[in-house]
Amino acid sequence: MQLEWAREPVVGDMPVVRQLGRLVARSAPPAHYVLTGGETARAVLGALGIGDLRLLGEVEPGVPFGLARDGTLVCTKVGAFGAPDTLTRCFARLKREMERS
């Protein structure tokens, strides 16, 4: 699932962002994640009960890739950060890590 904001979220949007995170966490099958947007990523991870990640490296500077205690692979990217192909690189890294397991 991919959602695109028409604008950057503001403080008043946070209840909706958190609600979206809970909805995704409840409805999605067990999965690995590439999450964008700091608040959205935090909401999804919080709803999944993932409070911390063991850093496995970076897809590129400022785009961390990690492993949760339950084995969930997670790549996070803040909304307006990275090159045009950053998300493609995130998914490629996720695929490589999944093939290793």
Give per-residue pLDDT as tens, 72-96: 999 999 877 788 899 999 999 999 9
- The pTM (predicted TM-score) of the whole model is 0.72
Domain that holds residue 93: 13-100
Structural domains in the chain (count):
1
Q: Which two tokens stand for residue 29?
A: 């099958």
The answer as to whether 90 is a domain residue is: yes
Q: Is 82 left (phi over 0), alpha (psi -120 to 50) or beta?
A: left
Strand segments, DSSP code E, in 1-101 are 33-36, 54-60, 63-67, 73-77
Residue 33: strand pairing partners: 74
Tokens of 5: 């904001």
Position 83 in a domain: yes
